Structure 1
Amino acid sequence: MNKNTKIYIAGHRGMVGSAIWRTLTAKGYTNLIGESSANLDLKNQQAVKDYFELQQPEVIIDAAAKVGGILANNDFPYQFLMENMQIQNNLINTALQSGVAKFIFLGSSCIYPKLAPQPLKEEYLLTDSLEPTNEWYAIAKITGVKACQAIRKQFNKDYVSLMPTNLYGTHDNFDLNSSHVLPAMIRKFHEAKLNNNAAVTLWGSGTPMREFLFVDDMAEAVVFALENKLPDYLYNVGTGEDLTIKELAETIQKITGHQGAIIWDAEKPDGTPRKLMDVAKMHDLGWKHQVQLEQGIQKTYTWFLENIENYKQVKL
């Protein structure tokens, strides 16, 4: 890999894709390409083929996906299944047909069974049933992992899948109808603080345990996979550390300065009881996260405050 290698980043304007772009640029990579969804519909097979023929990328990083939390997954199961499969299938198959030698596919920890042993090891994939609240997205991502594995096996190409834990950070989505738990909490506590420290109501019991990785650390993991030929097809990317949703809420409450009450709505679903990643495989190869949770939340909240007025996904 050299700094002039032509690298196409799908989803380069999203939270993960933009972090990968910033990180590669900071490391001196000079030939990055990406297109907005308005210019290139990744669900359109012919459009993807035409783009690859025109640009002839040497490496593909697939950070494009239709994403959302429990509410969005529950309300739009077909879109989460079909649109994600369309996006990744078009990218993976066109990359193979175009002779792209290296492909990095990004998935999610939700590919693992709901009640799998903790921490989650890569070999637990497809050993039991999925969490119902996000199985549509999970199934789509599993097909992407298996497609890349099949290409490695059949064509001996360096196609690798990275499964991040829950990601958060700058450029996150703070729309309460589609955001994940951490950015949603940041917005809720911030707005409640402005509203005379009103009480904040949160879903579930607060007892599930979750692991969170700052998006810049995820970008570093992608660069690690880019610059090294990883020996296996699937790697977890996370911190290997988790906390309860209640502890997360209290941490965010402290950082935002909210002084009111927290009310837990036990009528709402909790989701998977625990999702902690076993990251030993990446650690053994030499990658480890650098940003601690409280530091990362502070950075994210600072970015949120700086972009309330002008960032399209912060719909206040």
Structure 2
Amino acid sequence: MTQDKVYVAGHLGMVGSAIVRALAARGTGNLVTRTHAQLDLVDQAAVRAFFAAERPTRVVLAAAKVGGIHANDTFPADFIYRNLMIEANVIDAAFRAGVGKLLFLGSSCIYPRLAPQPMREDALLTGPLEPTNEPYAIAKIAGIKLCESYNRQYGVDYRSVMPTNLYGPGDNYHPENSHVIPALIRRFHEAKANARPAVTVWGTGTPLREFLHVDDLAAACLHVMDLDRGTYQRHTQPMLGHVNVGSGAEISIRDLAALVARTVGYAGEIVFDATRPDGTPRKLMDSSRIAALGWRPTIGLEQGLRQTYAAFLQAAAAQASTGTQT
């Protein structure tokens, strides 16, 4: 991949920036990126013009509108529309520009709410989705099917990886619209700084979740992209393209909250608000396919949380020095 011209869509996001770091570390010098201000991926004409001008040979589609339970439940139209348009525009424009290999980043929420655990790739479309993020999940399923359909009709090599819940440097720490780990880090950090006696966490604390450090995901993405087509297809048929990427370990939200509190150094009480939604009861990915393809994660949750909190503090210090806010 070092000789390819690689376009990373969404390079400023948590996943995209991790992939850019991984590509740079291996010596990929011909990287193409665009900010949202430079290229709105919802604008079909602009996306087609970009691909026609740049002619990348490989594409990593990490751009997406993302958020936690509150954001998904509050802005369902935004989540389904923007993600559908981004996927359709980028995948079709890539094909029109002659891109032979593309990697699409999906999400574990594509699987049914009550899918058998751990969730296998063939659980897709076998039952109802989690209502709180159904619009986002449907958009991500559409992205998978776009890749599969272009592969079947045109013989291109467009692959999809389905990461479990991610965390790490570059995450979104918005007080209402973030995912669980950044939300907990911010909440405990602020409680510690303000000597608050208790922190309230949404839900009962009983749901089980699996987490993967974003740098592990980036390594998995490059591994999948590098595989020869025959090897990849032998391990993904009959699904025609998507592979789970997870850590294989799960933890309850209650235990996660306690672990984040220890990482931050917060010693107050943790209160669970059972009137708030829990989301899916359990989400554990079956990552045996990518393991068979030769990849395994290397960053444990405790180590990853320490690194993530250090990055949070560094970003907060930098923002404080410029007068901006997280």
Correspondence list, 1:31-70, <5 A: 31-70=30-69
Partner of 1:20 in structure 2?
Answer: 19
Give yes or no for contact 2:208–2:282 (8 Å, CA) kept in 1: yes
Partner of 1:119 in structure 2?
Answer: 118
1:246 maps to 2:245: no
Deviations 1:137-158 (A, max 9, x none): 0000000000101112222211
Question: What RMSD, in angstroms, separates the aligned Cα atoms of the two structures?
Answer: 1.1
Q: Secondary structure at the match of 2:212?
A: strand
Partner of 2:189 in structure 1?
Answer: 190
Distance 1:198 1:149 in 2: 52
1:283 maps to 2:282: no
Gaps of 5+ in 2: none
Give yes or no for contact 1:197–1:258 (8 Å, CA) kept in 2: no
Partner of 2:90 in structure 1?
Answer: 91
| Larger displacement relative to structure 2 (280-289 or 225-234) | 225-234
Partner of 1:259 in structure 2?
Answer: 267
1:154 maps to 2:153: yes
Q: Which amino acid aligns with 2:54?
A: Q
Correspondence list, 1:2-13, <5 A: 3-13=2-12
Give yes or no for contact 2:67–2:177 (8 Å, CA) kept in 1: yes
Distance 1:56 1:96 in 2: 10
Deviations 1:50-76 (A, max 9, x none): 101111000010000000000000110
Partner of 1:211 in structure 2?
Answer: 210
Distance 1:48 1:154 in 2: 22
Q: Which amino acid aligns with 2:60?
A: I
| TM-aligned CA deviation for residue 195 of structure 1 | 1.3
Distance 2:108 2:269 in 1: 31
Distance 2:283 2:256 in 1: 14
Distance 1:49 1:157 in 2: 18
One of 294, 300, 308 as aligned partner of 1:300: 308
Overall identity of the aligned pairs, in %:
50
Distance 1:254 1:131 in 2: 31
Q: With the length of structure 1 as denominator, give the TM-score of the two structures.
A: 0.97
Give yes or no for contact 1:175–1:315 (8 Å, CA) kept in 2: no
Q: Which amino acid aligns with 1:238?
A: G
Distance 2:325 2:121 in 1: 37
Partner of 2:242 in structure 1?
Answer: 234
| TM-aligned CA deviation for residue 309 of structure 1 | 3.8
Partner of 1:177 in structure 2?
Answer: 176
One of 263, 270, 273 as aligned partner of 2:278: 270
Distance 2:50 2:197 in 1: 50
Deviations 1:274-308 (A, max 9, x none): 00000000000100000000000000000001111
Distance 2:147 2:46 in 1: 21
Distance 1:74 1:198 in 2: 30
Q: Which amino acid aligns with 1:151?
A: Y
1:165 maps to 2:164: yes
| TM-aligned CA deviation for residue 4 of structure 1 | 2.1
Deviations 1:133-187 (A, max 9, x none): 0001000000000010111222221111000000000111111121100000000
Give yes or no for contact 1:174–1:315 (8 Å, CA) kept in 2: no
Give yes or no for contact 2:55–2:98 (8 Å, CA) kept in 1: no
| TM-aligned CA deviation for residue 42 of structure 1 | 0.3
Q: With the length of structure 2 as denominator, give the TM-score of the two structures.
A: 0.94
Distance 1:282 1:288 in 2: 8
Distance 1:284 1:254 in 2: 35
Give yes or no for contact 2:163–2:217 (8 Å, CA) kept in 1: yes
Distance 1:300 1:185 in 2: 12
Distance 1:84 1:198 in 2: 40
